[in-house]
Amino acid sequence: MNVSRRKKSIIQAVSILSITTLLFGCSNPNEGADNKKNKDTLTMAWPRDIGEMNPHVYNPSQLFAQSMVYEPLVHYAEGGKLEPFLAKSWDISKDGKTYTFMLRDDVKFSDGSTFDATIVKKNFDAVLKNKALHSWLGFISKIDKTEAVDKQTFRMTLSEAYYPTIQELAVVRPVRFLGEAGFPKNGDTSKGVEQEVGTGPWVLDEYKADQYATFKVNKNYWGPKPKVKKIKVDIIPDAESRVLAFEKGDIDLIFGEGAISVDAYNQLKETKSYKTTMSEPVATRLLIMNTKKKQLADERVRQALQYGFDKKTLVEGITSGLEAPADFILPPNLPYTSNLNVEKRDFDVEKAKTLLDEAGWKLPNGKKVREKDGQPLQIEMMYDAAELVQKAMAETLQSEWASIGVDLKIVGVELPDQVQRFKDNKFDINMYSNFGAPYDPHTFVNIIGTDGFGFKEAISAYPNKDQLLQEMKDVLKTTDETKRQKMYAEILPSLQDQGALVPISYLKKMAIYQNGVTNFKFAANRDENPFAQIGIK
Amino acid sequence: MSVYILKRVGSVIPILLLAILLLTAMIHLSPVDPAEAYLSAAHIQPTEEVLAQKRAEFGLDQSFLTQYVTTVVRLASFDFGTSYVSGKPVLDEVLLRLPATVQLALSSLLLAIFVSIPLGFLAGIRKNGFFDHLSRGIAFIGASIPSFWLGYLLIFFFSVQLDLLPVGGIGSPSHVILPAITLALPLIALYTRLLRTSVIETMREPYVLFARTRGIRETIILGKHVLRVAIPPMLTGLGMNLGKLLTGTIIVETVFSWPGFGRYFIEAIFDRDMPIIQGYVFLAALLFIGSSLLVDLLQLAIDPRIARKGGNRR
């Protein structure tokens, strides 16, 4: 063999070797995103890695996954009903400060250890080690004392009465329960857990960062056993790729808020080859008018703007039915939000024009924009530039309001920038959506009534502002259910009727799944997983 | 020669310092408070108390200069800091995902080389022939189709319609095919055209004509005299594009659910996870600088004229 030929064969060998190493290199061909058609396993797509399965931390842990493994004392059910869960009942002292929970005695963690008052206390204490981080959840910063009274009784004492405590116990994080084996030696779970031991129906089985995670049934589960043996979560960051994987049949289920584009959803729906469903409202999309601004300080102008656009056409046209036109600032399926008596303001161009005339904004001859004292009626609306629905809505409002003589400038900004400008009161009209179940209505009124969020300034022209702010503080301390209902029935309509808060649409979650999937049902809690009784044929 | 190498390596340091300065400035220029971005992503209502705690944790309450110096010292000792979101060291997060990105990038690079060398060569020796037209077609497509769209098209035809290849993910050799093609196509377009031009130019050189008149077989002329001389300019193009390859993975990894560093970078941007973004940009800067250094040194090895001139390039 001469030299050049040997050289050649070495080069060939090296290239073949390198190609094979590359192709097979980092992996084992038996794993990965390939899904064998398996009737026991439900495969869903999710945009992000599920993160650490630790009940006491936030991002990047995904709420739906945390809710599969860990459970709350109280369950947030449809219509905002608060039902017993790991606590079979509770008792609230007359002064609203002491909460005593009677725990279920048949609950075991996935490793077989017992769920009792001692472990409940241990979890609360772990959460309280990082009180500041969790202080956004109102009752956490008010906890004075936690006690395991006996094996099945847990007691918590607050520094002051705070009625939303029970409701806040239903959230996905951070007040869910980790088994003893999960705790690190120092008891501080904020840096990680030893094992993902929960009481939930699912146990994390296999996990590959950024690729997939599988959950299997918890053999020790105390409640009704799930119908599928496994749930596999395939991580597909791109929405269009999720749709393609679904069409190919690799994925059984896609769900979430804006999980796929409106177009893709409707296209898949129209094929009639799949099942689609929408959830009950989870939150409201609102316009917030800044009454500190001269043009918007007059209630008649704010009302005119409400009369001046066709909400139904706007919402249905832009969201193709993925959102529903909203009549109330909070969805009526939240606690204390049903049967509220608010003034309806339906589309009425003539009324809008009259109101503007009355407010002194007249249309000069030959001009298209109303004026008052030589100033044109110009208003600026900011929206999240990344959200197509907000952009389309802003554009539609711009053209609708042009016909009543209002010059609307629309400005797309980045979401965090939008939040910042809202806080700094640097806006005329803002698009906002509230937290939804299980956080509202108390979080909503709390945000409105607290400095530093932007709402308090935005409603500053309301004549009854001081009384409203006081009521919003007081309602959180109420101990009487009837009185509380009555107070909400005053606060919420007053906020809405004076026109700074304009409901646009109810946000909903979407789900699309293969025909074999049965019993898909959205949880009432916005953050909770929908797998309670899901099956697959 | 060693002086030249030292000089080139030394020139990297001010560039890196400048890169870090820009990185630190990024945090200050952005209207967005990373602490607030973290909270809103976590569905936490951003109260002042929580915000202050997060800002102190992230070191955002320090002055610009302090932040800059700290960053330089940190990066010099290869400490990239801790991710705001996961709380884990950035280096761990990077090392977890880098192998996948390297696998994809190298597969694409090899594919690009193995396709563009024969194609560019054939296109060059027969101007306006079949391969020339083919290479021109590929060049147009490769230069004009955005890679995310090409990715969707490939998935649609090869995965959904024909059911030949997986939609995304990593695992088997079949998983790498579509993302590698998507990432390689723009490179193929570029390299093919570079090689073609270079081949055409070389064919016009007097020594080729001389070889022909000497009666040397055409295959030997093409192989020994033309191809060998025509490849170095393509090598330069290749080196210049190594960094581009890395940034190309950002989109391709997202479309194909490839669990690499590029896709993680996108998540970090949405999360305003500054240490991760800084780490990525720093590594990308290193790669850009490193690959151009490597190409220079390779040129030096191939073309002795550069060294003889004491390091002054042509």
Question: CB-CB: which of B49, B106, B159 is closest to A244?
Answer: B159
Cβ neighbors of A357 (< 8 A, separation 6 or more) are none
- Mutation for testing the B interface, residue in A175, A189, A207, A241 having most B CBs under 10 Å: A241
Amino acid at site B38: Y
Does the pLDDT value for residue B43 go beyond 70? no
Residue A90 and residue A100 in contact, taking contact as beta carbons nearer than 8 Å: yes
CB contact under 8 A, A34 and B169: yes
pLDDT score recorded for residue A493: 92
**What domain range is B153 assigned to?**
97-264
State the nearest Cα–Cα gap between B262 and chain A, in angstroms: 12
Could you tell me the sign of the dihedral formed by the alpha carbons of A435, A441, A443, A448, in that order? positive
CB contact under 8 A, A135 and B175: no
State the nearest Cα–Cα gap between A113 and chain B, in angstroms: 29
- Nearest Cα neighbor of A384 from A410, A415, A424 is A415
- Find, in chain B, the residue whose alpha carbon is nearest to that of A133: B50
pLDDT score recorded for residue A37: 56
Tell me if chain A has a CB within 8 Å of the CB of B23: no
Looking at the domain assignment, is residue B305 inside a domain? no
CB contact under 8 A, B42 and A419: no
Does the pLDDT value for residue A251 go beyond 80? yes
Q: List the Cα angle A136/A138/A141 in 5-degree steps.
A: 85
A288-311: per-residue pLDDT in tens?
A: 999 999 889 999 999 999 999 999
State the nearest Cα–Cα gap between B117 and chain A, in angstroms: 14
Instruction: Summarize the confidence of residues B125-136 as an average pLDDT.
Output: 86
State the nearest Cα–Cα gap between A363 and chain B, in angstroms: 38
CB contact under 8 A, A133 and B173: no
Could you tell me the sign of the dihedral formed by the alpha carbons of A139, A132, A204, A515, in that order? positive
CB contact under 8 A, B40 and A420: no
Chain B, 96-125: which have a CB under 8 Å from a chain A CB? Answer: 96-97, 99-100, 103, 106-107, 110
Beta strands A230-235; A41-46: pairing state: parallel
Tell me if chain A has a CB within 8 Å of the CB of B87: yes
In this structure, of B30-39, B232-241, B242-251, the range with the lowest mean pLDDT score is: B30-39
- Mutation for testing the B interface, residue in A127, A210, A236, A274 having most B CBs under 10 Å: A210
Partners of A382 in beta bridges: A411, A430
pLDDT score recorded for residue A3: 47
pLDDT score recorded for residue B152: 92
Question: CB-CB: which of B47, B159, B169 is closest to A211?
Answer: B169
Looking at the domain assignment, is residue B82 inside a domain? no
pLDDT score recorded for residue A12: 58
Cβ neighbors of A77 (< 8 A, separation 6 or more) are A83, A524
**Burial (CB count within 10 angstroms: exposed 0-12, middle 13-18, buried 19+), residue A195:** middle
Can you tell me the distance from the alpha carbon of B108 to that of B241, in angstroms, rounded to the nearest whole number? 12
Domain CATH code at residue B144: 1.10.3720.10
Tell me if chain A has a CB within 8 Å of the CB of B277: no
Q: Residue B101 in 3-state DSSP?
A: helix
A105-142: per-residue pLDDT in tens?
A: 999 999 999 999 999 999 999 999 988 788 788 898 89
CB contact under 8 A, B168 and A241: yes
Tell me if chain A has a CB within 8 Å of the CB of B254: yes
Tell me if chain A has a CB within 8 Å of the CB of B223: no
Q: pLDDT band at residue A379, thresholds of 50, 70 and 90?
A: very high
- Find, in chain B, the residue whose alpha carbon is nearest to that of A234: B169
Q: pLDDT band at residue A58, thresholds of 50, 70 and 90?
A: confident
- Find, in chain B, the residue whose alpha carbon is nearest to that of A35: B166
CB contact under 8 A, A247 and B169: no
pLDDT score recorded for residue B200: 86
CB contact under 8 A, B172 and A29: yes
Does the pLDDT value for residue B31 go beyond 70? no
A331-373: per-residue pLDDT in tens?
A: 999 999 888 888 888 999 999 999 999 999 998 888 899 999 9
State the nearest Cα–Cα gap between B286 and chain A, in angstroms: 23
Tell me if chain A has a CB within 8 Å of the CB of B163: yes
Tell me if chain A has a CB within 8 Å of the CB of B155: yes
- Nearest Cα neighbor of A114 from A31, A33, A220, A40 is A220
State the nearest Cα–Cα gap between B23 and chain A, in angstroms: 20
Looking at the domain assignment, is residue B80 inside a domain? no
Q: What is the DSSP string of A352-395?
A: HHHHHHHTT-B--TT-SS-EETTEE-EEEEEEETT-HHHHHHHH
CB contact under 8 A, A211 and B155: no
Question: CB-CB: which of B45, B171, B257 is closest to A237?
Answer: B257
pLDDT score recorded for residue B308: 61
What are the chain B neighbours of A26 within 8 Å (beta carbons)? 99-100, 103, 170
What are the chain A neighbours of B266 within 8 Å (beta carbons)? 237
Looking at the domain assignment, is residue B184 inside a domain? yes
Looking at the domain assignment, is residue B45 inside a domain? no
Chain B, 52-71: which have a CB under 8 Å from a chain A CB? Answer: 53
Average pLDDT, chain A: 88
pLDDT score recorded for residue A31: 40
CB contact under 8 A, B43 and A527: yes
Looking at the domain assignment, is residue B139 inside a domain? yes
What are the chain B neighbours of A447 within 8 Å (beta carbons)? 45
CB contact under 8 A, B32 and A417: yes
- Mutation for testing the A interface, residue in B84, B111, B257, B258 having most A CBs under 10 Å: B257
State the nearest Cα–Cα gap between A161 and chain B, in angstroms: 20
- Mutation for testing the B interface, residue in A36, A49, A238, A444 having most B CBs under 10 Å: A238
Looking at the domain assignment, is residue B239 inside a domain? yes
pLDDT score recorded for residue A488: 92
CB contact under 8 A, B45 and A435: yes
Tell me if chain A has a CB within 8 Å of the CB of B44: yes
CB contact under 8 A, A234 and B100: no
Instruction: Summarize the confidence of residues B236-254 as an average pLDDT.
Output: 81
Instruction: Summarize the confidence of residues B105-111 as an average pLDDT.
Output: 90
CB contact under 8 A, B31 and A132: no
- Find, in chain A, the residue whose alpha carbon is nearest to that of B102: A22
A173-198: per-residue pLDDT in tens?
A: 999 999 999 999 988 898 889 999 99
pLDDT score recorded for residue B41: 65
State the nearest Cα–Cα gap between A325 and chain B, in angstroms: 25
Residues in chain B: 314
pLDDT score recorded for residue A313: 93
Instruction: Summarize the confidence of residues B283-300 as an average pLDDT.
Output: 78
Looking at the domain assignment, is residue B60 inside a domain? no
- Find, in chain A, the residue whose alpha carbon is nearest to that of B255: A238
DSSP summary character for residue A281: P
pLDDT score recorded for residue A263: 85
What is the share, in percent, of chain A residues with pLDDT greater than 90?
Answer: 59
pLDDT score recorded for residue B33: 72
- Find, in chain A, the residue whose alpha carbon is nearest to that of B57: A133
* Count of domains for chain B: 1
What is the share, in percent, of chain B residues with pLDDT greater than 90?
Answer: 9
- Find, in chain B, the residue whose alpha carbon is nearest to that of A209: B259
Question: CB-CB: which of B32, B41, B103 is closest to A59?
Answer: B41
Read off the tokens for B41.
């992503």
What are the chain A neighbours of B265 within 8 Å (beta carbons)? none
CB contact under 8 A, B50 and A135: yes
What is the share, in percent, of chain B residues with pLDDT greater than 70?
Answer: 92
**Burial (CB count within 10 angstroms: exposed 0-12, middle 13-18, buried 19+), residue B88:** middle
pLDDT score recorded for residue B204: 84
Q: How many CB atoms lie within 10 A of CB A486?
A: 14
B141-180: per-residue pLDDT in tens?
A: 888 888 888 999 999 999 998 989 888 888 888 899 999 9
Place of tokens 């941007």: B269
State the nearest Cα–Cα gap between B141 and chain A, in angstroms: 22
Average pLDDT, chain B: 81
pLDDT score recorded for residue A304: 94
Backbone angles phi, psi at A158, to 5 degrees: -100, 160
